[in-house]
Structure 1
Amino acid sequence: MVELSPAEDRVLRAFARGAEADFREDSDDGASWGPERTVRAEFLRWLLLTGKAEDGVVPALRVAGARISGKLDLAGADVPCPVRFHACHFDQLLDVEAARTRQLDLNASVLPGLRGARVRMAGALHLTACRVTGDVRLAGARIAGPLLAEHARLEATEGRALRLDTAHIENDLWAPGLKAIGPVTMEGAAIDGALNLRDAELSSPGDVCLDGTNLGVGSGVLASRLATVGEVRLTGARVGGTLDITEATLTSAGGKALRADNVVVGADLRATRVSARGCVDLRGGKITGRLDLAHAELSNDDGVLALRVSSGSAAELSLREAKPIRGLVSLQNARFDLLTAPPEVWPEVVKLNGLRYGALAPHLPARERLPLLKRNEDGFVPESYTQLAAAYSSVGDDVSAREVGLARQRHQRGTRPRYARIWGYLQDVTVGYGYRPLRAAAWLALLLAVGTLVFGFHHPPALDAGKAPVFNPFVYTLDLLLPIVDFGQAKAVNPHGGYQWLSYALVAAGWLLATTVVAGITRTINRR
């Protein structure tokens, strides 16, 4: 090793004692620091790999406020002691790729890049308040302690700001207040503890700003007040606890603000007061607890999906007090024990085919829920009406359930041929498709009164005066109206002219009423 500078000699003596060599002064511009604060990277490599400690002392490299000149290359090295660079300035990237280290602390330091793919770290990796102007590569890394990046600033002009693909962190990834310009990728990574991105700002316009495809988090994801520009991708991610993006602002106009298809969440997915410009895609997601979108603001371009939970499931989907959604909503084949949503939250076009829910909240009259079913993109969907009627029946609101059944028949009528629509109108006017049984009684009473009055003033002549019973206009009219009842009056007389046509009309009306009543009774039995 060539002759050491005074600064390096100071680091050497501090290393031997396990102490810190602190060069900090008032100036924060590391590029301007002179030789009194400059330490060569090649000297640090030699010290870490061959340096000796004083007797009875555990050596450690602890440097604060120094400028590190040259590239500190520790790739593949076995570094036996803790390494700490606090508030240091690196001229070139730090390379610990495939190295074995105890602990690496870069708090408040400035680096042009960190290369640490496949590094094995027995302790923690500290990047708190660190600024990296290039990419941070930790793909395949294994870190036994936490990865701490609170208020770190990662600025990748090219490539990715942070790459943690297939990495394994056996503790927490703690990065509240992180600011990243460029993609942050965690594809296939495993975090045994929690992932904390509270108040983080991630920006990668037109690209994926956070890629957690197949990410595994043993505890929860804490990302309240997260602000993103670009797509947040959590496809196939598995979260053991709560996934919390409360008050997050997710922006990917025209694209996907949050893509979490097939995500598995062991507790709640909290997205209260979230603001998403772009699609929130949770199709196929399995959420053990609540999918809470209360007070949320979801929007996308006209005609583009704003919320998709198709084929997903949750104990509850809550849109309580959410703002009206701009864009399409798809809940096809989704399953919820409870669906909490006011009618005004839904957009003009929805996809509800196969949607199943156990109950609805708040409890509202059927007339306030029914307009949504006519907004279905595929037109008339019978099971949507069946599901809504079942929800009302489950809470004992049979009046609303019958109203939904009647609305279903009326909606379906519009899809049928003209001749079938005419028959439908007759059933609707007469007995309301069997959902208005009192109408049949009213029609029968009216027709019975008309027939009794008319035939009371003009008795039709008897077919056989000697054998005919005494004519009774009330019983005669009843005989005409009830096709399965025979009082003997209709067979004993023979009306003529207009009275004959009136009798024919009463017989036809009787058959119509009887058919629709039987259809209504059959429908009621099948519904139960």
Structure 2
Amino acid sequence: MEIDDMTPAEERVWRAFARGEDVDFRDPADEDPARGADWGPERTVRAAVVRALLLSAPQEDGETAALRLAGARITGVLNLQYADIDPAVRLSACHFEHVPVLYAARLRQLNLRGSVLPGLDAATLRVDGVLRMSDCLFDGPVRLGGAQISGALFMDGAHIANPPAGEAALQLNHITVGDGLSAPGLRARGEVRLTGASVAGSVDLNGARLEAGAGEVAVDAETLTVEGDALLREADVLGWIGLRGARIAGRLDLSHTRLANPGDAALRASSCTIGELWLRKGPRMEGTLNLRRAQVDVLFLEPEVVPEEVLLNSLVYTSLTPHEPAERRLAMLERDGEGYVPHAYQQLTAAYRRMGDDDAARLVQLAKQRRRRATLPWYGRLWGHVQDATVGYGFRPLRAAGWLVSLLVAGSLAYALHHPEPLKADEAPQFNPVFYTLDLLLPVISFGQEAAFAPTGGYQWLSYTLVLTGWILATTVVTGITRTVSRQ
């Protein structure tokens, strides 16, 4: 393209490029580029001119060429497919009539801050520095799948809407970011796809509004790798978030966030590895919380956030905060959609023991036995009720001691009113109903009473009952004391 074919606005851009000077058509500077279709020829630049600048414009000695353009209406298709571009490119607050095509291009730096575009086709793009799309308005999908960005990716305040049916609004699948992904305040109507993405820094989606619709994918981040934190605080998500197989070294923070996907899973974080998972200070999750087979170092989970259904089988966590009474935590385990899950009770027990709260740990173990009882046949359930009522499945040793005292009193009164006959009258010691009952109840200690007297009739059956229950209860007391001492 010859320079005499250009408009005055294009000539101004052409001359400024070689010296890296700014060209700003905005007047006033804060005008809305969404109305850029009405801008006249005095601020219109053809995409073909921009392409010619970046690919073949002459350089000036001692100057660093760069395209720094603001407030322009760019007509035609900016096609830089497979292009290798060294100058930095800044097209801020511009209005694009057509989708820029940057497929497989390589740029030193790209800044589209505040621009309005009908979409972006930049799959497998390579940027040696920073890619900035802050405050951009996209009326169509942003395709960055497989892109390689050596620096950071900025999309703070960006708005993406109206993707075609079946296509994700923001496609960051298999992207590689050498620094962080910063997109606080992002608005996306449709799926945000992060499958297989790798971020060396942190992912910041604080304050995002992600609206995919009930039953639809809001964020698909399977096998995502984040070396820092993944932040989704004070956000609003309609649809489900998928993190299956993801690895987040730092904190996955969902504090103050509304997760809503009624009738289906709201958060699918199965088989993932997370340093810290924070679910706190937000409304109750609308939908299922799926943490099956996940590994979490610190699980910050407030009972108020837990939804009506959870899936916790094989979830492993080292620390559970905040420290809540066992009754509040047990309510969560009772909502497991798979029914009785022994592993979930074992994990909660271990967490309380690491806190040093043995009382809460025993409550969890007792609740586990009661939940298991419902899965047994009738005779198992019957025996379970007996164990529960008498000794609390061994986790209520004081209750066993109470039963022993009660049986001691009952037996002592019964045998005080009806002395059993001595086996050898001339050798038998003086009968003592209290110590005789103790002889029957205590399986190890002997006071010489049981062997010297022989009750008959119903009192003989009473002695058999005392011997049997004494063995069971005394063993329970000893086991409970031993458990307590060994933990201390």
Q: What is the TM-score of this pair, normalised by structure 1? A: 0.81
**Equivalent position of 1:96 in the other structure:** none
Shift of 1:298: 0.5
- Return the structure number with greater relative CO, CA threshold 8 A, min gap 6: 2
- Distance in 2, matches of 1:18 and 1:220, equals 31
**Equivalent position of 1:186 in the other structure:** 144
Q: 1:187 to 1:526 in 2, by over 3 A?
A: farther
Kindly indicate whether the alpha-carbon contact (under 8 Å) linking 2:193 and 2:219 is maintained by their aligned counterparts in 1. Answer: yes
* 1:423 maps to 2:422: no
Q: 1:310 to 1:527 in 2, by over 3 A?
A: farther
- Distance in 1, matches of 2:380 and 2:431, equals 39
The one of 116, 134, 137 equivalent to 1:176 is: 134
- Distance in 2, matches of 1:363 and 1:3, equals 72
- Distance in 2, matches of 1:312 and 1:475, equals 62
- Distance in 2, matches of 1:527 and 1:295, equals 38
**Equivalent position of 1:81 in the other structure:** 58
* 1:247 maps to 2:207: yes
- Distance in 1, matches of 2:174 and 2:375, equals 44
- Distance in 1, matches of 2:360 and 2:17, equals 82
- Distance in 2, matches of 1:406 and 1:217, equals 49
- Distance in 1, matches of 2:169 and 2:17, equals 44
**Equivalent position of 1:273 in the other structure:** 234
**SS at the partner of 2:81?**
coil
Kindly indicate whether the alpha-carbon contact (under 8 Å) linking 2:22 and 2:69 is maintained by their aligned counterparts in 1. Answer: no
**1:108-507 map, 5 Å:** 108-144=72-108, 146-155=109-118, 161-205=119-163, 206=165, 207-253=167-213, 254-302=215-263, 304-507=264-467
Shift of 1:15: 5.3
Q: Which amino acid aligns with 1:258?
A: V
**SS at the partner of 1:299?**
strand
**Equivalent position of 1:53 in the other structure:** none
Structure 1 stretch displaced more, 246-255 or 281-290: 281-290
**1:41-120 map, 5 Å:** 65-66=43-44, 68=46, 79-81=56-58, 103-104=66-67, 107=70, 108-120=72-84
- Distance in 2, matches of 1:170 and 1:307, equals 34
Q: 1:209 to 1:525 in 2, by over 3 A?
A: farther
Identity %: 41
Kindly indicate whether the alpha-carbon contact (under 8 Å) linking 2:16 and 2:23 is maintained by their aligned counterparts in 1. Answer: no
Kindly indicate whether the alpha-carbon contact (under 8 Å) linking 1:103 and 1:121 is maintained by their aligned counterparts in 2. Answer: no
Kindly indicate whether the alpha-carbon contact (under 8 Å) linking 1:80 and 1:102 is maintained by their aligned counterparts in 2. Answer: no
Q: Which amino acid aligns with 2:74?
A: V
- Distance in 2, matches of 1:410 and 1:138, equals 62
Q: Which amino acid aligns with 1:128?
A: S
- Distance in 1, matches of 2:26 and 2:246, equals 53
Q: 1:7 to 1:132 in 2, by over 3 A?
A: closer
Shift of 1:149: 0.6
Kindly indicate whether the alpha-carbon contact (under 8 Å) linking 2:24 and 2:69 is maintained by their aligned counterparts in 1. Answer: no
Structure 1: tracts of 5 or more residues without a match: 38-63, 84-100, 156-160
**SS at the partner of 1:453?**
helix
- Distance in 2, matches of 1:300 and 1:510, equals 55
Shift of 1:314: 2.4
Q: Which amino acid aligns with 2:110?
A: L
Shift of 1:486: 4.2
**SS at the partner of 1:257?**
strand
Q: What is the TM-score of this pair, normalised by structure 2? A: 0.87
Q: Which amino acid aligns with 1:110?
A: I
Kindly indicate whether the alpha-carbon contact (under 8 Å) linking 2:192 and 2:220 is maintained by their aligned counterparts in 1. Answer: yes
- Distance in 1, matches of 2:202 and 2:22, equals 43
Q: Which amino acid aligns with 1:369?
A: R
Q: 1:240 to 1:71 in 2, by over 3 A?
A: closer
Q: 1:215 to 1:273 in 2, by over 3 A?
A: same
- Distance in 1, matches of 2:95 and 2:479, equals 75
Shift of 1:406: 1.1
Kindly indicate whether the alpha-carbon contact (under 8 Å) linking 1:328 and 1:350 is maintained by their aligned counterparts in 2. Answer: yes
Structure 2: tracts of 5 or more residues without a match: 28-34
- Distance in 2, matches of 1:411 and 1:368, equals 16
| Superposition CA RMSD, Å | 3.5
